[in-house]
Amino acid sequence: MLDAVFFNSKQNSLDLLDQTLLPGEIVTVRCFDEEQVADAIVSMKVRGAPAIGVAAAYGIALGLLNKANHQTSVADALNRVCKLLAGTRPTAVNLFWAIERVKKLVDQSAGNDFMAVAATALQEADRIKAQDIEMCRSIGRFGAEFLLDGQTWLTHCNAGALATAGYGTALGVFRAAKEQGKKFSVFIDETRPLLQGSRLTAWELLQENIDATLICDNMAGSLIRDGRVHGVVVGADRITSKGFVANKIGTYPLAVMAKYHGVPFYVAAPVSTFDLSLSYGDEIAIEERNHDELRFIGDKQTAPADIKVYNPAFDVTPPELITAIFTDRGVIRPIYKETIPAVIGAAEVFK
């Protein structure tokens, strides 16, 4: 199983598979402190809501091991490190969930021995990673029940092993279906502007020997109209208490087209992606990224340097367009405020 986020205990480093270079190069980035982890998250060397949560958890441990932070108290160093990591990307709630989980445990230890509290943080980061893998396996099993032999599904962006601790949410559904012996195929949106579909999802599905076909983003509607898509499944970066889903830009129009043509539209996400402190989509902070992501593809300029650009990284899909949400604790449908807490256990979710 692919391990894109790995703590190297011999080096006291966080080793990340650099996703900005895939599929052309397979390069490991080695982070020795919280600053390098934060940079890896911002630059999207590591990406995907669960994966950046796991990376941030390890980043806290590295921050406490970093001797540059030992000129102050553990509490002050912890607060600074957590603030740095929390400021990297605003939309994915898993980031804040993981940071709060590690910070709470370290705070409870109430010690000022940096090595001891770093060990506590590292153990919790290991638990978060292991639990994410198990959650994704459960998501995959629940979702695979909806994928029938001979069907073709479509997915957007990358919600696979690269975006998680190693198994995947949306792609976990395909992995689980393959493990069950089902025969199926997958259309992959390229996912502009950073091409996470063509660069990452296509690469992952080839590694898994899953029958996959790459399409341009603007081809999806025609395929759905022509009856060539039997289901759509995507991941999520944040889900509100009423079932509004923030995911990679381009998700919303897919959901509209699927609804119009009567094709099921599914979301796959662990409980750590739910934010019950929010109700509606307009409450979700949407990250806007560097404008050159649209002016360039890689190093090649494809638009005038002075053209104005709007580059939100995510959009929001309302619950009435979503057939079901696959979680590690079960399938949520219909998606109402009452059914989400009933399935995921409201008391355990980031509030």
Q: Is pLDDT above 60 for 350? A: no
Q: Is pLDDT above 90 for 344? A: no
CA distance linking residue 266 with residue 249, whole number of Å? 16
141-168 pLDDT, tens per residue? 999 999 999 999 999 999 999 999 999 9
CA distance linking residue 59 with residue 79, whole number of Å? 13
CA distance linking residue 254 with residue 92, whole number of Å? 20
Q: Is pLDDT above 70 for 351? A: no
Across 27-31, 333-337, 346-350, least confident range: 346-350
Across 98-102, 121-125, 339-343, least confident range: 339-343
234, 252 Cβ separation under 8 angstroms:
no
* Structural domain for 282, as ranges: 141-348
**What's the mean pLDDT in 94-116?**
90
Using the 3D structure, point to which of 105, 120, 136 is the last residue of a domain: 136
The reply to whether 16 and 162 lie within a common domain is no
pTM assigned to the model: 0.94
Give the number of domains in the chain: 2
Question: What was the pLDDT predicted at 110?
Answer: 65
In degrees to the nearest 10, what's the CA dihedral of 117, 122, 128, 131?
A: -120
The one-letter amino acid code at 296 reads F
The one-letter amino acid code at 237 reads D
The reply to whether 188 and 272 lie within a common domain is yes
In degrees to the nearest 10, what's the CA dihedral of 55, 90, 193, 187?
A: 70
The reply to whether 100 and 203 lie within a common domain is no
**What's the mean pLDDT in 205-209?**
96
Q: Is pLDDT above 80 for 30? A: yes
Question: What was the pLDDT predicted at 109?
Answer: 77
**What's the mean pLDDT in 262-279?**
96
How many Cα atoms within 13 Å fall on the side-chain side of residue 314?
A: 25
Q: Domain of 61: which CATH number?
A: 1.20.120.420
The reply to whether 132 and 157 lie within a common domain is no
Q: Is pLDDT above 80 for 345? A: no
Question: What was the pLDDT predicted at 342?
Answer: 87
Q: Is pLDDT above 90 for 236? A: yes
User: What are 65's two structure tokens?
Assistant: 């091991």
Q: Is pLDDT above 90 for 24? A: yes
Q: How far is CA 233 from the centre of its chain?
A: 14
102, 86 Cβ separation under 8 angstroms:
no
CA distance linking residue 118 with residue 174, whole number of Å? 37
Q: Is pLDDT above 70 for 349? A: no
**What's the mean pLDDT in 7-18?**
96
289, 43 Cβ separation under 8 angstroms:
no
Across 103-117, 161-175, 297-311, least confident range: 103-117
Task: Give bridge partners of residue 154 from the DSSP assignment.
Answer: 187, 232
Using the 3D structure, point to which of 136, 167, 195 is the last residue of a domain: 136
The reply to whether 278 and 302 lie within a common domain is yes
Residues with active-site annotation: 237
Share of the chain above pLDDT 70, in %: 98
The reply to whether 149 and 215 lie within a common domain is yes
The one-letter amino acid code at 66 reads N
The reply to whether 46 and 155 lie within a common domain is no
Q: How far is CA 347 from the centre of its chain?
A: 22
CA distance linking residue 348 with residue 351, whole number of Å? 9
111 vs 323 pLDDT, higher one: 323
User: What are 342's two structure tokens?
Assistant: 């009933």
CA distance linking residue 7 with residue 159, whole number of Å? 21
Q: Domain of 280: which CATH number?
A: 3.40.50.10470
Q: For residue 18, give the H/E element and its range.
A: none
CB contact set of 185 (below 8 Å; sequence gap of 6+): 151, 152, 153, 211, 212, 213
The reply to whether 204 and 314 lie within a common domain is yes
The reply to whether 290 and 332 lie within a common domain is yes
The reply to whether 102 and 217 lie within a common domain is no
Share of the chain above pLDDT 90, in %: 92
The reply to whether 124 and 207 lie within a common domain is no
Using the 3D structure, point to which of 86, 111, 136 is the last residue of a domain: 136
The reply to whether 196 and 339 lie within a common domain is yes
31, 4 Cβ separation under 8 angstroms:
no
| Residue 194, phi then psi, degrees to nearest 5 | -100, 5
